[in-house]
Structure 1
Amino acid sequence: MTNATSAPSSDAPPWHETAPRRVRDVTARPLTADGVCWVAAHGGAGASTLAKVLGGTDIGCRWPDSTLDEPARVLLVARTDAQGLLAAARAFNAVIDNRYPAGMDLLGLVLVADLPGRLPQTLRSRVRMLRSKAPMWQVPWIPQWRLGRQVDRLPKQLVKLGRVVQTTQRGGGR
């Protein structure tokens, strides 16, 4: 049996309550201005798939690292289930608390549908709260992705997000 209040883990995302608190090092070398990175708020968020389909760098469940020449521009990715939205809220709280690398630019939140159909009211309320904190893109349920397949034509939501990624990859603004 595991204890939900276990000791801090260095494996936890930097925004998780069990992650050790670190002071932001403002003297570290800057993050690179080139490109965009996908940061998963939690495992299984869809960051790897989005990076593969739209471009950019998938860096997993952590903030970008200047020692690895990773991009400063971040798209945070979460699923639309309760745990995914909670993980996204924790990541936003880390940004509010200045627990992120100097020079990081959070472009916004990408929510990936966890199931087809409309979200329950409780989850829609959480989405509204998150939308008030940063720009947001919502990716609909794509059944082919569940099977590891490509889609013939991207949904319009992904086309719009792809434009943001491509503009950012070329060094443009939001």
Structure 2
Amino acid sequence: MPIPPPPAVVAARPWAPGVDGLTVRRHIRRSTVDGAPLLWIVGAHGGAGTSTWAHLLGAGDAGAAWPQHVNPTRLLSIVVCCRSTAAGLRAAQDVAIEWASGALPGQLVGLVVGADAPGRLPRELRDQLQITSGAFPHCVFVPWQAHWRFAKENDVNADHSRRINKIAATVAAWTERILG
């Protein structure tokens, strides 16, 4: 029985030391948009928080699909979000690797990592976060937000902390540099 060839190694961008030598394990599905916002929030996996961050930032919510404008000359900016689980961080890394390979259009702006539980991340997850964040131009960690568990749809703005305001302003600043 012939041995299948190894997966292709993707060349990483200079700012992506965390993805050197890694390969894409899956391919993200695409979604075509028309006349939509220039900034989109993409989930590296289901339940990553795209709706929450799209609402907070006034951006498009792409769910777990990569948006691509019907007009190929219109460049979309993408912020990826994930949870701080091992699977969530690896899924975000896969998205960045696929983008770095040239397979996904648009400008990758950064990564928003939402805590999956209260408290400090275990060392293994902190190490994985360090590696994953190297695949993105910017990265921010969002601590556990207990009140978001009880928020009704699109009600996360009702009671969020100064820390969340600061994080949202930081992510907005990333995109302002690109969108002008």
TM norm structure 2: 0.69
> Could you list the runs of 5+ residues in structure 1 that have no partner in the other structure?
1-14, 23-30
Contact 1:64/1:71, CA 8 A, preserved across alignment:
no
How many Å apart are 1:131 and its aligned residue?
2.1
| Structure 2 Cα separation of the partners of residues 97 and 115 of structure 1 | 32
Contact 1:35/1:168, CA 8 A, preserved across alignment:
no
Partner of 2:126: 124
SS in 2 for 1:17: coil
| Structure 2 Cα separation of the partners of residues 36 and 74 of structure 1 | 6
| Structure 2 Cα separation of the partners of residues 109 and 94 of structure 1 | 14
Contact 1:33/1:71, CA 8 A, preserved across alignment:
no
How many Å apart are 1:17 and its aligned residue?
3.3
Kindly indicate whether residue 64 of structure 2 is the aligned counterpart of residue 61 of structure 1.
yes
Partner of 1:25: none
Contact 2:82/2:112, CA 8 A, preserved across alignment:
yes
Contact 1:36/1:168, CA 8 A, preserved across alignment:
no
1:79 to 48, 67, 83: 83
Partner of 1:163: 169
2:25 to 17, 23, 35: 17
How many Å apart are 1:49 and its aligned residue?
1.0
Partner of 1:7: none
Partner of 2:177: 173
Partner of 1:11: none
| Structure 2 Cα separation of the partners of residues 123 and 55 of structure 1 | 30
| Segment drifting more, 106-115 vs 133-142 | 133-142
| Structure 2 Cα separation of the partners of residues 61 and 21 of structure 1 | 8
| Structure 1 Cα separation of the partners of residues 98 and 150 of structure 2 | 33
Structure 1 counterpart of 2:93, which letter? A
How many Å apart are 1:120 and its aligned residue?
0.8
SS in 1 for 2:66: coil
SS in 2 for 1:100: coil
| Structure 1 Cα separation of the partners of residues 161 and 129 of structure 2 | 23
Alpha carbons of structure 1 residues 20 and 108: separation in structure 2 relative to 1, 3 Å: closer
How many Å apart are 1:159 and its aligned residue?
2.0
Alpha carbons of structure 1 residues 65 and 107: separation in structure 2 relative to 1, 3 Å: same
Kindly indicate whether residue 161 of structure 2 is the aligned counterpart of residue 154 of structure 1.
yes
| Structure 2 Cα separation of the partners of residues 19 and 153 of structure 1 | 34
Partner of 1:49: 52
> Could you list the runs of 5+ residues in structure 2 that have no partner in the other structure?
1-22
TM norm structure 1: 0.71
Q: CA offsets, 1:19-51, max 9 Å, x none?
A: 4999xxxxxxxx979531100000000011111
Runs of 4+ aligned residues of structure 1 deviating over 6 Å after TM superposition are 68-71
